Structure 1
C-alpha cells in the first residue's frame, strides 16, 4: 500500500506524463487532418431543412416532455424514436440495445468515414412545477415510493435535437460524404438498483462496432446559458462520479450512560470532517476533487446511542490516480477513527462514470464550426465542472466532442438541473439542430478530404 507521499508523487508524475502525451497526440492528429476554416461557407440547405422540420420536431419534443420515462423504462420514447428513423428511410434501425436503446444508421450517397452522435432519453423522479402547457403529470413508483416523473435535465431537448438532425441529414443524404450512426441512449441518470444500463452497457453490447465510428458527438442543454449560445470545455470537461456507502458500527446504550456504549454518531461525525482533509492535505492542491456525504442515518430515539450509523455520498475526480488516492485514504481514515473509538466500519465504494474528456485535437478541429453557426461571440469557453456524464464511456473508446446548448430565453429564468422548475425553451431546439448538423457535416467532409 502506498504512503501519502508516494501517492502524491504518483499523481503529479501521471499528470505531467498525460500532459506531454496529450500535446504529442494533438500535434499528430492535426498534422493529418484537413483544417476547418471559421469563415468556410455554410451549406444553405441545412438552414432550409431546419426551417422545414423544426415545427414537427418541437411538437415531438413537447410530447416527449409530457410523457417522460425513467431509465431502462423508456419504452414509448424508444418506439417514437425508432418509428421516426424508419419513416426517414434509415438504412438500419436497431432497438432493444442496453434494454431500450435505439441505433439508426444513415449511409450517405458519397463514400466517407463513419461518425456517431448520441442523445440520452431518460427522465428523473422529480415532480414538475413549470408553467408549460405540456408539463408532465406522470407519476410512477420509484424505490417503493410514488413520485412524479419529469424531464428535469433536458433529455427531451437532446432527443428532439437528434431527431431533427436525423431529419435534416436524411433530406440531404445524396450529398452526405459518409455514414452517421445515431445513438439514442437509455439510463444516463443511472439504471434502477440491481440493473445494468446506460452508456457502459451500450458499449459492452458493441454499439461502437459494425460500423465503428472514428469520432462521436454529443450535447447537453444548459440551464445557465441563453438560447443562441453554446459552451465548450477543451480537454477534461466533466468529472468521474463515484458512490460510496459506509456503515459505522458501535454499541447501543442509554444516552445518559455513553460510557457503557460505543457511539457511532461521534465516529461518523469525525469521519465526515476528516474526509475534507483529503482534498486539503493529501492531494496536490491543483488536482480537483470533491468528497461529499449526502446522507447520514442513525438512531431511533433522542436518548438512545444507536448501534449503527449509515452514510452515503459521492466522490468527484478527474485524475485516475487521484481517484485511487481518495478511495484508499477514505478507508485509512475510517480504520483509524473506528479503531480509536472502539467500533468497526464497512465501506462499499462503487466506481461509476469516468471523467468526460473532450479530445483536444477534435475540439480544435471542430470549434470553428460552432463559431460559424452561432457566431464566435456566442461560443462560451466553459470551465470544467464536477458534474458527471456517462458520455464518457463513448469518449473513452473514440475521440469525443461534447458541448453545452443554451436553453433559457433572454430575460427568462430556469430552475437548476434536477429541480421541479427546470425549464428549457423550445427555441433551443433549432439552434441545437443547426449546430450538431453542421458539426457532423464538417467532420465528415474534412475527414474525407484528409483521406484523399
Structure 2
C-alpha cells in the first residue's frame, strides 16, 4: 500500500504516451514475424528505462528484465505485437493503410484484435515500474511476443518458440500475467475467472479418397462427397454423444468442403477443414483420436479412404491458476477506475496458454467498448470495424501494474 500513491502518479503521467504509442503502432501494423518496426520501438523504450533487453527472440520478440531494489519474486508480463490481414473500415485519423505480402498474397493489414493496445499498455507499465525500481521487492520480466495470430503453413512459432529460445530462463518467472482488450465488455470492466478462460484452438483437415465416375452411374465409382458428408455428421455425434458435456463444453465445426469441378461428375477426392475448441486437454486428445477413427471407418463403409490431419500449431486452452486467481482477485477489485467481474469462458484461442503452462498464470479481459454503448452489439475482435475506446488503455496499465506490485508485496509476508 505505501507504493500506491507513487503508482497512481506514474500511471496517470504515462497515459498520453500510451495513447500516442497505440496510434503510432496502429498506423504502422505488422503481421506475424514481421514486427520489426514495432519491436525496435519497444526495445528502444525499454533500454532508455534501464531494462536489460534481449531482441530477436522467436524472430522479432523482445524480452526485458528489470531487477527491483529489493529481493523478491519474478513477475512476467506479456503483450502480443502482431496485426491481422484485414482491411480497416474504422474512420480514424490514424487508420491503417498498410499493405504487405502474407502467404504469397498481397493483403491489407490492420490491428483488428487490439494487440497495438497491448503493446502500448505494456510499454506504459514498463515505465511505471521502472519509476518505482528502487522500491520494488522483486524482478519484472516483460515479453513482447510476435505472431500470436499464427503463421502461414501451420508454422510453429509464437509463444512456444519464445519459450524454446529461453524467454522464461534466467530468471524463471514465479507467475505470469496477461490481458486482452475486448469489445464484449465496456470500458472500466475487468473480466476474469479461475480455470479455463479461453479454449484450445486446433485446425484440422480431412482428406477423402473415392473413385471418379459419371454422376449418372455412381455404382461404378466411390463417391467422396457422400462419404465426406457422412463424416461431417459423424463428427457431430462425437460432440453430442461421446464426450461428457457436463464436464466442459466443446465446439467442433467444419468450415470448408471442397470437391468436384462439374455437376455430373463424381470426383476422386473431397477435402474439408475446420476447427476444434475444447477446455480440457484429455477431452482434446479424445476428440483427435475419435475424429480419426470416425472418418476412417465411415470411409471404409463406403468403399473409400479418409485421413484426418491436425495442424501442429494448435493452441492449448488458457487456464487461469485457481489459487493465483483467488489470491489476486482483491488486487483486481482495487484497480482504480475498474470494475472486476467474473465472466464466462470464451471460445477464442490464446497462446498465452503456453506461458501459463510453465508458471502459474492469470489472464484477464479489459473492456474496450465506450460506456453507454451496448457491448453485446459491438463489433467483435478481428472485425474490420473493431474499435477501441482509448480510456481502456489506462485501465490496462493500472491493472498490470497493480497485479505486479501486489504480488511482489504479498510474497514478502
**Do these two structures clear the TM 0.5 threshold for a shared fold by scoring above it?**
yes
**Aligned runs of 1:304-383 on 2, under 5 Å?**
304-350=265-311, 352-374=314-336, 378-383=339-344
- Of 245, 248, 253 in structure 2, the residue corresponding to residue 292 of structure 1 is 253
Q: Does structure 1 residue 165 correspond to structure 2 residue 129?
A: no
Q: Secondary structure at the match of 2:286?
A: helix
Aligned twin of 1:442 = 406
Q: Is the 8 A contact 1:72 1:192 kept in 2?
A: no
- Ranges in structure 1 where 5+ consecutive residues have no aligned partner: 1-39
Q: Is the 8 A contact 1:50 1:168 kept in 2?
A: yes
- Of 41, 45, 55 in structure 1, the residue corresponding to residue 6 of structure 2 is 45
- Of 406, 415, 421 in structure 1, the residue corresponding to residue 385 of structure 2 is 421
| Residue 374 of structure 1, CA deviation | 4.3
**CA–CA separation in structure 2 for the residues paired with 1:407 and 1:42:** 27
Aligned twin of 2:60 = 100
Q: Deviations over 1:73-124 (max 9, x none)?
A: 111110000011011122x100000111001111111221111100000111
**CA–CA separation in structure 2 for the residues paired with 1:285 and 1:88:** 50
Q: Secondary structure at the match of 1:380?
A: strand
Aligned twin of 1:31 = none
Q: Deviations over 1:3-25 (max 9, x none)?
A: xxxxxxxxxxxxxxxxxxxxxxx
**CA–CA separation in structure 2 for the residues paired with 1:162 and 1:47:** 16
Q: Does structure 1 residue 273 correspond to structure 2 residue 233?
A: yes
Q: Deviations over 1:151-210 (max 9, x none)?
A: 111101111110000011111111111110011011111123263310011111111110
Quick one: structure 1 residues 374 and 278, their matched pair in 2 at CA, closer, same or farther if it must change by over 3 Å? farther
**CA–CA separation in structure 1 for the residues paired with 2:29 and 2:104:** 19
TM-score when scaled to structure 1?
A: 0.87
- Ranges in structure 2 where 5+ consecutive residues have no aligned partner: none
**CA–CA separation in structure 2 for the residues paired with 1:233 and 1:443:** 18
**CA–CA separation in structure 2 for the residues paired with 1:212 and 1:46:** 25
**CA–CA separation in structure 1 for the residues paired with 2:310 and 2:123:** 38
| Residue 354 of structure 1, CA deviation | 1.1
Q: Secondary structure at the match of 1:83?
A: helix
Q: Is the 8 A contact 2:337 2:395 kept in 1?
A: no
Q: Secondary structure at the match of 2:393?
A: helix
**CA–CA separation in structure 2 for the residues paired with 1:406 and 1:195:** 31
Q: Is the 8 A contact 1:71 1:192 kept in 2?
A: no
**CA–CA separation in structure 1 for the residues paired with 2:148 and 2:177:** 15
**CA–CA separation in structure 2 for the residues paired with 1:42 and 1:93:** 25
**CA–CA separation in structure 1 for the residues paired with 2:103 and 2:97:** 19
Q: Secondary structure at the match of 2:191?
A: strand
**CA–CA separation in structure 1 for the residues paired with 2:337 and 2:371:** 17
Aligned twin of 1:236 = 196
Q: Secondary structure at the match of 1:424?
A: coil
| RMSD (Å), alpha carbons | 1.5
**CA–CA separation in structure 2 for the residues paired with 1:194 and 1:240:** 15
**Aligned runs of 1:25-424 on 2, under 5 Å?**
43-90=4-51, 92-193=52-153, 195-286=155-246, 287-350=248-311, 352-374=314-336, 378-412=339-373, 414-424=378-388
Q: Is the 8 A contact 1:229 1:374 kept in 2?
A: no
**CA–CA separation in structure 2 for the residues paired with 1:133 and 1:223:** 21
| Residue 299 of structure 1, CA deviation | 1.2
Quick one: structure 1 residues 195 and 340, their matched pair in 2 at CA, closer, same or farther if it must change by over 3 Å? closer
